[in-house]
Structure 1
Amino acid sequence: MHKGFPANLRRLVHHYPSTSRAAEALGINRQQLNKYLSGLSMPSLATLRNIAAHFDLEPDDLLLPADRFAARWRPPMRIEGLPPRMRQAVAALLENMAQTRSTLSRFCGCYHVCIPLRTNPDRIGRAYTVISQEGDLTLVKTIMFATSRGELPGSRQPIKIDGIAQWLGERIYITDTQNVGQPNARLQSIALYPPALPSMPFLTGLLMTTNNARTRPIYSSPIVFKRLAGKKPKKADIEACGVFYRDDPRLDPAMIALLDGGSSSL
């Protein structure tokens, strides 16, 4: 009944550096895993569920005919041609993203993001961020408007920033870049705490950013993400971004309070 299972499992295990590494990641004895791979043995239902969950699959997916399974499962990304040490580092990041994909999926959605402006602490910048997943990758796209007082968000071209998220140590880490290779290039790192209660809409943390320009040194700032209703971007939410004074009624007082509370404990 389950003749497709060994081939499907071999396809999954093939993306680990070795059978030993796969067995360790799956929490299975290596000798037992080899029996599954060769078709000499079938896992218990509990083990089958654990294997499926590890790869973000359903148990029935593992029992599909090999051709149907190949169409169902998307293998993790690989980066070829790197030096061995760099390849190991990138592989470890990709593997972590694959293993924590289901955890990060809880945070997929649309957000308003607020941060104090370093050049003017009386003002708050509000951006729009979408967290989504493609395969094993958790992607972060941010749109922001560098508006001045009295300007509407649409009066300037939006700044678009792409990043990637990792789940490590009960925190979300986001790394994004902007204008790489240009004089105004920027690299940002964000560490976020998930909410204490699932019903809370806020992610709080710390942003650290650096610029190519020598006049703009590395600095850090508290940052707050507020989850918005719905799973698809809304034009009104994007247009609500820009630069505001702290006492502007359009800003959420709860976000301002969280910003003023700081994130030094990170």
Structure 2
Amino acid sequence: MSENLGVNLKLACSHYRSISEVCRQLSINRGQFNKYLSGQSQPTPYNLKRIGDFFGVEDYELGLPPEQFARLIGARVTILPGAGQEDPLVELLRPLRDHGGNLSRYCGYYFEYSNCMSVPGSILLSLVHLREERGTFLFERQERQERTSSIDVQADDWVRCRYLGAAFQLQDRLFLVDYESLTVNEMSQTILIPSFKSRITRLNGLKTGVSSGDRRTPTCTRVVWEYLGPEINRINAYRQVRLYRPDDPRIDDDVRARLEVGPIRNGLFEID
């Protein structure tokens, strides 16, 4: 049972939108359920029966070899060479997912304001979507950067950037790591201070990365996430994604103040 339960539970959960949904319907603590998935602990006979009833199988069947269990529930799986050997990168990051906090309340769309690393003195507005997928919190960040150093450019001069990443809550901070998926030539990390209010409005933090210029200078900037909602008009939101001058009336005073706090030239730290 101990060898196969976690694998079989993951397979059964894959038929649902998320592991959190399964936990809510089972009324089982998410942290405790994560221990079942990782093999750190075993369910009590009572909980094992509840889990089996939920997935429509006998409790002993949850301990069958994964290939047999997959056939039992009608799932299609491919047994590859080396099956059962965890990917080293997945194994390395597993504790972050299993022991991190629940980011469900932060899921949705955000405008991200930051001091542009490539065009100092300007503010970059990006569109971020944070979502939960099978118990893991993922996000996508859309940017549009200019080919030239001027903010006032024509539509043909824009370059699209699409960042993909994962988010974790460790103690009282939100950590987000992503990479540019179209060129795969850079990564960035964002650390946000969570909101302790009942309604999320804006989150403050710092983001590190590199400028897209020839020097690719390592840079750190203040960042503000503005919550837009769980569902938005993506087309209208994306039309606002671009560079802005600091005095642009579309950048309100609160955002401008959050980006300018502290003795940082143009809101940026440059690392030699």
TM-score for both structures, normalised by structure 2: 0.63
Q: 1:95 Cα shift?
A: 4.2
Distance in 2 of aligned mates of 1:121 and 1:156: 17
SS of the equivalent of 1:197 reads: coil
Which whole-Å deviations, capped at 9, do the CAs of 1:67-108 have from their partners, x for residues lacking one?
89987xxxxxxxx79x99x83x6325234324546x111111
Of residues 5, 9, 12, the one that matches 2:6 is 12
Following superposition of structure 1 onto structure 2, how do residues 184-263 of structure 1 map, counting pairs within 5 Å? 185-210=185-210, 215-261=215-261
Q: Mark the CA change 1:196 to 1:115 in structure 2 (over 3 Å): closer, same or farther.
A: same
Give the aligned partner of residue 171 of structure 1: 173
Q: Mark the CA change 1:258 to 1:60 in structure 2 (over 3 Å): closer, same or farther.
A: farther
Q: Mark the CA change 1:257 to 1:154 in structure 2 (over 3 Å): closer, same or farther.
A: farther
Higher relative contact order (CA 8 A, sep 6+): 2
Identity of aligned residues (%): 17
Which whole-Å deviations, capped at 9, do the CAs of 1:11-38 have from their partners, x for residues lacking one?
338789xxxxx89947xxx9x948x3xx
Distance in 1 of aligned mates of 2:154 and 2:232: 23
Q: What is the RMSD of the two structures over their aligned residues, measured on CA atoms?
A: 4.3
- More displaced, 112-121 or 136-145? 112-121
CA contact (8 A) 1:153 1:241 kept: no
CA contact (8 A) 1:122 1:245 kept: yes
Q: Mark the CA change 1:104 to 1:24 in structure 2 (over 3 Å): closer, same or farther.
A: closer
Q: Mark the CA change 1:154 to 1:253 in structure 2 (over 3 Å): closer, same or farther.
A: farther
Give the aligned partner of residue 93 of structure 1: 93
Q: Mark the CA change 1:153 to 1:176 in structure 2 (over 3 Å): closer, same or farther.
A: farther
**Structure 1: runs of 5 or more not aligned:** 1-6, 17-21, 37-41, 52-58, 72-79
TM-score for both structures, normalised by structure 1: 0.64
Distance in 2 of aligned mates of 1:155 and 1:242: 12
Which whole-Å deviations, capped at 9, do the CAs of 1:93-136 have from their partners, x for residues lacking one?
234324546x1111110010011124544310101111112112
Q: Runs in 1 of length 4+ with deviation above 4 angstroms?
A: 7-10, 13-16, 22-26, 59-62, 67-71, 152-155, 211-214
AA of the residue aligned to 2:248:
D
Q: 1:220 Cα shift?
A: 0.8
CA contact (8 A) 1:131 1:141 kept: yes
Give the aligned partner of residue 122 of structure 2: 123
Q: Mark the CA change 1:144 to 1:119 in structure 2 (over 3 Å): closer, same or farther.
A: closer
Following superposition of structure 1 onto structure 2, how do residues 74-89 of structure 1 map, counting pairs within 5 Å? 87=88
Distance in 2 of aligned mates of 1:110 and 1:97: 21
AA of the residue aligned to 1:216:
R
Give the aligned partner of residue 3 of structure 1: none
CA contact (8 A) 1:222 1:262 kept: no
CA contact (8 A) 1:143 1:158 kept: yes
Q: Mark the CA change 1:94 to 1:152 in structure 2 (over 3 Å): closer, same or farther.
A: farther
SS of the equivalent of 2:132 reads: strand
**Structure 2: runs of 5 or more not aligned:** 11-31, 63-69, 74-81, 265-272
Distance in 1 of aligned mates of 2:156 and 2:180: 20
Q: 1:230 Cα shift?
A: 4.1
